[in-house]
Amino acid sequence: MRSNKRIYLSPPHMTGKELQYIEEAFASNWVAPLGPHVDGFEAELSSYLGVKGALALNSGTAAMHLALLLAGVGQGDRVFGSALTFAATVNPVLYVEAEPVFIDSEPVTWNMSPAALEWALKEARAEGALPRAVIVVNLYGQSADMDPILELCEKYGVILIEDAAESLGATYRGQKSGTFGRFGILSFNGNKIITTSGGGALVSDDLDALARARYLASQARQKARHYEHTEAGYNYRLSNILAAIGRAQLAVIEKRVEAKRNIFMRYQKALGAIEGIRFMPDPGYGRSSHWLTALTIDQDKCGVSRDQLIDALEEENIEARPLWKPMQLQPLYRGAKYYEHPGGSVSETLFEKGLCLPSGSSLEVEEQDLIISILQHALHSR
Ligand SMILES: *Cc1c(COP(=O)(O)O)cnc(C)c1O
């Protein structure tokens, strides 16, 4: 076992500038709440993405909750969401007492299957129970195939919400990930492509909706000298200190994307030709940010299971994990409706065979070489 530090999947990667910004915040006593770094971070985020507005929040989950409220989702409504994702994508559907329905992935993008979505929408219309919103997720840095998904949402009059928590910095047909739906959500959690330690954002071209989100996220205070409330709000804003960290991080986003893409390519070059190993495919319509390098292991072909590879890395104090466990398989969502991709469930096969490798933008070449050699050894010594 190596005596040195654990290698994580995607640890925070600081630039050094963060401290300078934090010191500025301290010097001006803009520690909290809000302040000029929050305004600056929001302006820089919207200009980076090419959207009209951004609202900095204390998590991506809070951003999703607000997006659902703005989309008018309430008790008894249906929301369609990607099945293969992290639970934070869809848990806010439960916060608003709506019913989640899960849509499978497709094999070429690993993201929402337009064919399964179409089937689900057709059936919902026949039942007179169209969803109020569709939540599409961009997994591991790769955009879903937005054109057919947007077309379907338009045809059925359903609001699209884009979960770009893992895909900041990616593009789809030249347009930045996170800007395709009526609302987009981002995460700056510690493991994401850039981090504020914890944080998120809601982005949109609908400035009126963002103004309402801002009000809801700040305890729904009415304009008055005293504290006047007509509805229950939330305490969801990002502090000025954390926004300071975010500004330093956003300034280097392109470098972070570049580093993650290089890590993916090195893994692929070293391991891609081994029988039974398949890296997350590139559908060719854009640039993935490769937040995490993801691949599938076919045990029948390579003789080693995904879990054996995770164990081999763990022995050397290296973190690796399966892909997300699909929502329809989670005890929390037992009994929820699920629409498969034609030909069989893709998300469930990906979960069975899928592996995420350490992909931090600060991963050293020597560390990556070590990971590669452990995997090569495990795959060849069967
Ligand atoms: C991380 C993540 C979130 C949640 O973001 P938080 O900032 O941790 O609340 C939502 N969706 C996906 C797909 C994520 O990976």
Cα 249 off chain centre by: 17
> Does the CB atom of residue 167 touch ligand 1 within 6 A?
no
**163, 188, 324: residue to mutate for ligand 1 pocket, most atoms within 8 A of CB:** 163
User: What pLDDT, in 10s, does the model give residues 50-84?
Assistant: 999 999 999 999 999 999 999 999 999 999 999 99
For domain 253-380, the question of CATH label 1.10.10.10 is answered with no
Mean pLDDT confidence for 237-254: 95
Residue type, 346: V
**pLDDT reading at 1 higher than 60:** no
**pLDDT reported for residue 380:** 86
> Does the CB atom of residue 184 touch ligand 1 within 6 A?
no
> Does the CB atom of residue 200 touch ligand 1 within 6 A?
yes
> Does the CB atom of residue 162 touch ligand 1 within 6 A?
no
Percentage of the chain beyond pLDDT 70 is 98
**pLDDT reported for residue 2:** 58
Q: Which helix (H) or strand (E) holds 36?
A: helix 36-49
Say which residue, 197 or 34, is predicted with more confidence.
Answer: 197
**pLDDT reading at 31 higher than 90:** no
**pLDDT reported for residue 365:** 96
Expressed in angstroms and rounded, the spacing between residue 87 Cα and the centre of ligand 1 is 8
Cα 70 off chain centre by: 20
**pLDDT reported for residue 162:** 98
Expressed in angstroms and rounded, the spacing between residue 26 Cα and the centre of ligand 1 is 29
- Can you spell out the DSSP letters for 95-144? HTT-EEEEE-B-TTTSSB-HHHHHHHHHHHHHTT---SEEEEE-GGG---
**pLDDT reported for residue 76:** 95
Mean pLDDT confidence for 5-25: 91
Expressed in angstroms and rounded, the spacing between residue 227 Cα and the centre of ligand 1 is 32
Supply the mean pLDDT for the chain: 95
- The single residue listed with the structure tokens 């892909």 is 323
- The single residue listed with the structure tokens 């094999």 is 107
User: What pLDDT, in 10s, does the model give residues 280-334?
Assistant: 999 999 999 999 999 999 999 999 999 999 999 999 999 999 999 999 999 999 9
Mean pLDDT confidence for 326-346: 97
> Does the CB atom of residue 196 touch ligand 1 within 6 A?
no
CATH fold for the domain made of 18-250: Aspartate Aminotransferase; domain 2 (3.40.640)
Whether the model clears a pTM of 0.85, i.e. scores above it, the answer is yes
> Does the CB atom of residue 85 touch ligand 1 within 6 A?
yes
Which residue ranges make up each domain of the chain?
18-250, 253-380
**pLDDT reading at 337 higher than 70:** yes
CB 193 within 8 A of CB 177: no
**pLDDT reading at 124 higher than 90:** yes
> Does the CB atom of residue 165 touch ligand 1 within 6 A?
yes
Distance CA 27, CA 265 (A): 43
Burial bucket for residue 235 (CB in 10 Å: 0-12, 13-18, 19+): exposed
CB 341 within 8 A of CB 117: no
**pLDDT reported for residue 32:** 67
**pLDDT reported for residue 26:** 86
**pLDDT reading at 3 higher than 60:** no
